[in-house]
Amino acid sequence: MKLKRLTALGLAAMMTTSMIGCGGTSANPPSDTKAETTAAPAETSASAASGDQTAPASGDVDRSQELIVYSNSTSNGQDEWLLKAAREAGFNVQIVSIEGAALSDRLVAEKNNPVCDVVFGMNAVEFERLKSENLLVKYEPQWVGEVDMSLGDAAEGYYYPTVVQPLMLVYNPSIITEPPKDWPDLCDPKYEGQYNLFQLTGGTAKMILASILSRYADPAGEYGVSEEGWQVVENLYKNGYYQQDGDDYIGNVIDGTVPMSQLWGAGVIRYQQERDFEFGLMLPEIGEPFVVEQVGIISGCENTALAEDFINWFGSADIQKGWSDSVGAIPANSKALEMIDNQSIKDLMAKVKIQDVDWALVSQYVNDWAEKVQLEYLD
C-alpha cells in the first residue's frame, strides 16, 4: 500500500492535467489548475508567528507516520507556513496542492485506490459532493464547540469549518450616495452599468448567484428556481457590468469607472490596506453568503487516528490564530478570531452575519445555474 501511495503521488501532475480536459468547475477565482506535492522543510520558524505549536498527540498516536493532505488553499505561502508549523508539532506531512474543483475531481477519481488522508480548503458544495460519493469519514474534532456548525455539516458531522469568507458588494461611498440594500436592488435602472459582476468561472460569483437564486426555491421551477427568481437574476446580469479579463476592478471602484463590485471578505481587508481606500459595504438584512473552507477525513485513510489528531491540531484556536496572522485568513474558530492580531478582520466580522443558504440545493444545481446565466443572460 505504501508503494502504491508514493506512486500515486508521483503521478499527481499527470493525473490533474488529464482531468482538466474532462471539464469541471472551479470553486475559486480563475486560475491554472495544477498539482504540487510539498514536503516539510528541514528547518522551521512557524512558532514565532503562531505561538505554541507543539500540543501533544492524542493518546498513543505516532505523529512520525506519513500523512497525505490534499488542499486547494495553499497559495501565497500558506503551504509553507503549515508545513513548518506541522513539523514543529511532530507531524510528517506531505501536502498535495490542487487548485479549484479539480481537487474534488481527483478525490472521486481515486475513490477505489485512495491516496489522500485529510483534505481541507474546499467549500461545503464540494464536500457535499464527496459525502454523496461516500468518500468521507464521520468524526468530531476537539474544537467543534468553538465553531458555528451551521457553517459545516451540522446534521451528520462529516466535515467542519476552518476558514470563512463573507461575500459582499463594496462601493465607492463618495459616488454611490444611495447604495443598494440587497442584491435584487441592483436591478433598478439607476444602477445600470454601475456594478461589477465577477466571471462565473470563479467561486465568488457562483456563490453569490447561488445565494440569490436559493431564496426563490421552487421544486417545480427550472433547476429548482421559480420564474420570479430567474427574472431577478436576468435583470441583475443585464443591468450590471460583467468583468473582463485584465480589468482592475478595484481601481474602477476607486476612480468611479464602475463604482461597485462583488468582493470576498479577505479581499475587502487586503485592498483597503493596499489602496488606502475605505469601501462602503452593502449589508443586507438577510445576511451575507459565506464561502467556508472545510476539513475532513477521506474514507480509506490508512491511519484514521493520526488524521483525527492532525485535524484536532490544525483546527485548534492557537493554530488558526497563527494561520490568520501569517496568511490573512479569517478563522471560523471563534476563540481564534478573538486572539488574532488583525483588528480589521475583527471589525469586518462584527458587521456581517451569515445568510441562511440551502447548500444541499446549491450543491445540486449551482453549475446548471451558472451555465444558464452564461448562455441566456450574457451577450
Would you write out the chain's pLDDT as a tens digit for each of its 379 residues?
444 454 445 544 433 333 322 323 223 333 333 445 554 443 434 444 434 434 445 568 999 999 999 999 888 788 899 999 999 999 999 999 998 778 999 999 999 999 999 999 999 989 999 999 999 999 999 999 999 999 999 999 999 999 999 999 999 999 999 999 999 999 999 999 999 999 998 888 999 999 999 999 999 999 999 999 999 999 999 999 999 999 999 999 999 999 999 999 999 999 999 999 999 999 999 999 999 999 999 999 989 999 999 999 999 999 999 999 998 899 999 999 999 999 999 999 999 999 999 988 998 999 999 999 999 999 7
- Domain limits of the chain? 2-164+291-351, 165-289+357-376
Query: Does residue 129 contact residue 24 with C-beta atoms inside 8 Å?
Result: no
Question: How many H helices and E strands in the chain?
Answer: 15, 13
- Greatest alpha-carbon pair distance for the chain in Å reads 65
CA distances (Å), origin 70, targets 44, 53, 157:
21, 21, 20
Which amino acid is it at 77?
A: G
CA–CA distance, 253 with 247 (Å, rounded to integer):
11
* Separation of CA 224 from chain center: 24
Which residue is associated with the grid cell 488606502? 276
Q: How far apart are the first and last CA of the chain?
A: 52
CA dist 17 to 22, 46, 105, Å?
A: 9, 32, 12
CA distances from 174 to 63, 248, 256 (A): 55, 19, 9
Indicate the DSSP class of residue 288. B
Q: What's the fold here for domain 165-289+357-376?
A: D-Maltodextrin-Binding Protein; domain 2 (3.40.190)
Q: Which CATH number fits domain 2-164+291-351: 3.40.1000.10, 3.40.190.10, 3.40.50.970, 3.40.50.300?
A: 3.40.190.10
The cell numbers describing 318, all together, are: 492557537
For 70, the enclosing helix (H) or strand (E) is strand 66-71
Say if residues 106 and 19 touch (Cβ distance below 8 Å).
yes
Surface-to-core class of residue 76, CB atoms within 10 Å of its CB (0-12 exposed, 13-18 middle, 19+ buried): exposed
- The confidence score (pLDDT) of residue 51 equals 42
Question: For position 336, what pLDDT does the model report?
Answer: 97
22 burial (CB, 10 Å; 0-12 / 13-18 / 19+) is: exposed
Rounded-to-integer distance, Cα 16 and Cα 241, Å:
33
The dihedral region occupied by 161, where left means phi > 0, alpha psi between -120 and 50, and beta the remainder, is beta
Q: What does residue 235 show for φ and ψ, rounded to 5 degrees?
A: -65, -40
Using CA atoms, how far apart are residues 215 and 60, in angstroms rounded to an integer?
Answer: 48
- Cell reading at 348: 469586518
Q: Do domains 2-164+291-351 and 165-289+357-376 have the same CATH topology?
A: yes
Helices 102-109 + 124-132 axis angle, to 10: 10
SS3 of 153-221: the string is CCCCCCCEEEEEEEEEEEECCCCCCCCCCCHHHHHCHHHCCCEEECCCCCHHHHHHHHHHHHHHEEEEE
- pLDDT value at residue 38: 53
**What is the 3-state composition of the chain as percent helix, strand, coil, each rounded to the nearest 5?**
45, 15, 40
